[in-house]
């Protein structure tokens, strides 16, 4: 077995029981998923306007952060949830896999994270300074950077079913010194040791089905309980996520499991991370990405996007336009803040017009309209014409669901469809709600705006028009109309975390 970290690089490995093994499909698939995995790794790394002085860049590292346990639990134990936006000391992925080659199957796990690196600028007397300008006009700023780390293990499935495997996934301490031109000073980069380990086990559920568990934990010594978060980050794993593949196995979607596997899928316990199928939809479960940011199955980076802006929640076109409008002084500070900020500015400043035009948008979900079975007796004007919305009244209109007319005041149970549902809406499955209005979209579809019965802020949401939106086929009428104090049904296991959703627009179809 070979174990070790390549200092200054990003790889460590641990492989046994698979001597002379040929290259695996999962290894190549990992590389195909690299764009999405890198987007997770660097999400929020540095936000527009990409300057050190910006307030939003003074509180960083918000996803998948694993601190030493004693520090993060100094005020009480962590509360598990599927979202990795809460600080923790561990991360646990559970998923289902079908065994396609009994006795010859293997599992490949790659854990990726960032190790914090303190970039300290020093003058000619080696005294720390906040900034320093060299004779050529270049400004160097003291700032926190990060180094990507990845540790990989390949294990026969039979071993995981028997004893499991635990491997170290930490990173060594280090110091790098970079002299500045003409003896103007130097830049010193410090990295503290990060200690962590990943345990991979499997549990057989039937002859051809098992549950895989991957648990990564920070095992390092904790700083003093009242140490500031910025200091504690020096010993943390940041943006931790896991790629899982293998040979002779096929992974099952937990977001949209087959009907016969719905119960075992619900029993999977994912804490501070959530696994989704990776790769293209036709790849049939050969790869999983377990990320602290909730994603749909088969996530992809839009082909129109020319590069990472470290803010996947924003629109590339808007961020690009804003970056173009930075003043020269702001751009100088951003370039001095971090090499990744400098790369963004270089890309924006030299972006060809045709590349920029592609950022305006793309349509990928057009479907042919089924012909009408009978000619309409009274044709409604097109949506852009005057009077197109005549006769529509969202608060009084109704729509038939299972033979029951639903409209304002109707009570329903939420049943988000498995395939194509918004990832956030899945956490509301089984909850009861009241219909506020019925909306007809310009494409002819219908969505119902609802408020949750057990949401203490539902009255406030109604006042300013903030609702959850569902299609009629995602709602189950409650008959009879029900009583106000009828309890909500328990949500699925994955939804037990104290999470809410801001689905303020109708759930979009998955591409």
DSSP 145-209: EEEEEEEEEEEEHHHHHHT-EEEE--B--EEEEEEPGGG--EEEEEE--B-EEEEEEEEEEETTE
Q: By CB neighbour count within 10 A (0-12 exposed, 13-18 middle, 19+ buried), where does 325 fall?
A: exposed
Considering only CA atoms, which of 370, 334, 339, 351 is closest in space to residue 443? 370
Q: What percent of the chain is modeled with pLDDT above 90?
A: 59
- pLDDT higher than threshold 60 for residue 490: no
Q: What percent of the chain is modeled with pLDDT above 70?
A: 82
Using CA atoms, how far apart are residues 507 and 414, in angstroms rounded to an integer? Answer: 13
Give 397 or 283, the one with higher predicted confidence.
397
Backbone angles phi, psi at 508, to 5 degrees: -85, 150
Q: How many helices (H) and strands (E) does the chain have?
A: 11, 23
Q: Find the mean pLDDT for residues 47-63.
A: 89
Q: What confidence tier does 264 reach under pLDDT thresholds 50, 70, 90?
A: very high
Residue 485: the pLDDT is 46
* Lowest pLDDT segment from 23-27, 51-55, 117-121, 422-426: 23-27
Q: Which two tokens stand for residue 260?
A: 């016969």
Residue 107 host element (H or E): strand 106-122
Using CA atoms, how far apart are residues 26 and 21, in angstroms rounded to an integer? Answer: 13
Q: What confidence tier does 489 reach under pLDDT thresholds 50, 70, 90?
A: very low
CB 481 within 8 A of CB 404: no
DSSP H stretches of helix in 287-383? 316-324, 328-337, 339-349, 353-358
Using CA atoms, how far apart are residues 211 and 205, in angstroms rounded to an integer? Answer: 7
Q: What angle do CA 26, 419, 63 make, to 5 degrees?
A: 60
Q: Find the mean pLDDT for residues 67-77.
A: 94
DSSP class of residue 456 equals T
Q: What confidence tier does 371 reach under pLDDT thresholds 50, 70, 90?
A: low
CB 165 within 8 A of CB 18: no
Tallying the residues shown for the chain, one arrives at: 511
Q: How confident is the model over 73-125, as pLDDT tens digits?
A: 998 999 998 888 889 999 999 999 999 999 899 999 999 999 999 999 999 99
Q: How confident is the model over 321-341, as pLDDT tens digits?
A: 999 999 999 999 999 999 999
Q: Which two tokens stand for residue 434?
A: 């009241």
CA distances from 328 to 103, 323, 332, 356, 442 (A): 63, 11, 6, 21, 44
Considering only CA atoms, which of 490, 492, 485 is closest in space to residue 453? 485
Residue 96: the pLDDT is 97
Using CA atoms, how far apart are residues 292 and 237, in angstroms rounded to an integer? Answer: 12
Q: By CB neighbour count within 10 A (0-12 exposed, 13-18 middle, 19+ buried), where does 72 fall?
A: buried
DSSP class of residue 497 equals S
Residue 81: the pLDDT is 87
Using CA atoms, how far apart are residues 16 and 27, in angstroms rounded to an integer? Answer: 16
Q: DSSP 3-state assignment of 330?
A: helix
Give 419 or 70, the one with higher predicted confidence.
70
Considering only CA atoms, which of 159, 156, 152, 128 is closest in space to residue 141? 128
Give 274 or 26, the one with higher predicted confidence.
274
Residue 21: the pLDDT is 42
Residue 152: the pLDDT is 95
Q: Find the mean pLDDT for residues 300-304.
A: 87
Using CA atoms, how far apart are residues 160 and 363, in angstroms rounded to an integer? Answer: 44
Residue 507: the pLDDT is 38
Q: What confidence tier does 284 reach under pLDDT thresholds 50, 70, 90?
A: confident
Residue 385: the pLDDT is 60
pTM of the model: 0.71
CA distances from 257 to 208, 265, 268, 297, 327 (A): 16, 7, 12, 11, 50
- pLDDT higher than threshold 70 for residue 237: yes
Q: By CB neighbour count within 10 A (0-12 exposed, 13-18 middle, 19+ buried), where does 295 fall?
A: buried
Q: Find the mean pLDDT for residues 374-398.
A: 67
Using CA atoms, how far apart are residues 365 and 511, in angstroms rounded to an integer? Answer: 7
Using CA atoms, how far apart are residues 211 and 114, in angstroms rounded to an integer? Answer: 28
Residue 302: the pLDDT is 86
Q: What confidence tier does 366 reach under pLDDT thresholds 50, 70, 90?
A: low
Token pair 């690299």 in the structure block, residue = 34
Any bridge partners for residue 155, and if so which?
107
Backbone angles phi, psi at 341, to 5 degrees: -65, -40
Q: How confident is the model over 394-409, as pLDDT tens digits?
A: 888 999 998 899 999 9
Q: What angle do CA 25, 31, 34 make, to 5 degrees?
A: 140
Token pair 């290894």 in the structure block, residue = 27
């Amino acid at each position: 077995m070979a174990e070790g970290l390549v200092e200054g690089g990003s790889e460590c490995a641990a492989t046994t029981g698979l001597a002379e093994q040929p290259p695996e499909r999962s290894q190549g698939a990992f590389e195909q998923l690299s764009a999405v995995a890198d987007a997770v790794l660097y999400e929020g790394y540095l936000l527009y306007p990409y300057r050190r002085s910006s307030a939003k860049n003074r509180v960083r590292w918000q996803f998948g952060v694993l601190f030493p346990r004693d520090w993060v639990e100094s005020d009480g134990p962590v509360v598990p949830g599927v979202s990795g936006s809460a600080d923790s000391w561990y991360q646990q992925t559970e998923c289902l896999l079908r065994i396609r080659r009994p006795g010859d199957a293997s599992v490949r796990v790659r854990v990726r994270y960032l190790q914090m690196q303190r970039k300290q600028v020093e003058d000619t007397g080696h005294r720390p300074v906040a900034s320093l300008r060299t004779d050529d006009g270049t400004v160097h700023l003291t700032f926190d950077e990060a180094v990507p780390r990845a540790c990989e293990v390949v294990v026969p499935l039979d071993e995981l079913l028997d004893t499991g495997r635990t491997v170290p996934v930490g990173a060594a301490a280090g110091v790098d010194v970079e002299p500045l031109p003409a003896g103007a000073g130097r830049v010193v980069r410090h990295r503290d040791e990060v200690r962590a380990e990943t345990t991979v086990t499997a549990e057989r559920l039937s002859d051809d089905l098992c549950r895989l568990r991957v648990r990564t934990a920070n095992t390092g010594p904790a700083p003093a309980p009242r140490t500031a978060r910025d200091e504690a980050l020096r010993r943390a794993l940041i943006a931790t996520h896991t790629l899982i593949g293998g040979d002779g196995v096929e992974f099952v979607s937990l977001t949209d499991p087959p009907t016969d596997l719905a119960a075992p899928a619900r029993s999977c316990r994912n804490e501070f991370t959530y696994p989704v199928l990776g790769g293209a939809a036709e790849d049939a479960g050969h790869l999983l990405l377990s990320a602290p940011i909730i994603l749909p199955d088969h996530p992809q980076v839009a082909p129109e996007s020319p590069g990472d802006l470290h803010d996947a929640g924003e629109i590339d076109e808007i961020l690009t336009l804003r970056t173009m409008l930075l003043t020269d002084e702001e751009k100088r500070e951003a370039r001095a803040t971090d090499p990744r900020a400098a790369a963004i500015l270089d890309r924006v400043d030299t972006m060809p017009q045709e590349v920029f035009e592609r950022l305006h948008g793309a349509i990928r979900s057009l479907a042919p309209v089924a012909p009408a079975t009978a000619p309409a007796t009274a044709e409604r004007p097109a949506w852009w014409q005057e009077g197109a919305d005549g006769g529509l009244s969202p608060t009084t209109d109704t729509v038939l669901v299972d033979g029951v007319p639903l409209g304002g005041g109707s009570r329903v149970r939420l049943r988000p469809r498995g395939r194509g549902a918004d990832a956030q809406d899945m956490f509301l499955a089984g909850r009861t709600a009241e219909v506020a209005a019925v909306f007809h979209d310009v494409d002819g579809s219908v969505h119902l705006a609802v408020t949750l019965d057990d949401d203490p802020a539902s009255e406030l949401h109604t006042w300013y028009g903030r609702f959850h939106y569902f299609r009629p086929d995602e709602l189950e009428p409650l008959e009879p109309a029900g009583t106000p104090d009828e309890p909500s049904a328990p949500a699925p296991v994955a939804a037990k975390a104290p999470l809410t959703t801001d689905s303020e627009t109708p759930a979009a179809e998955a591409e």
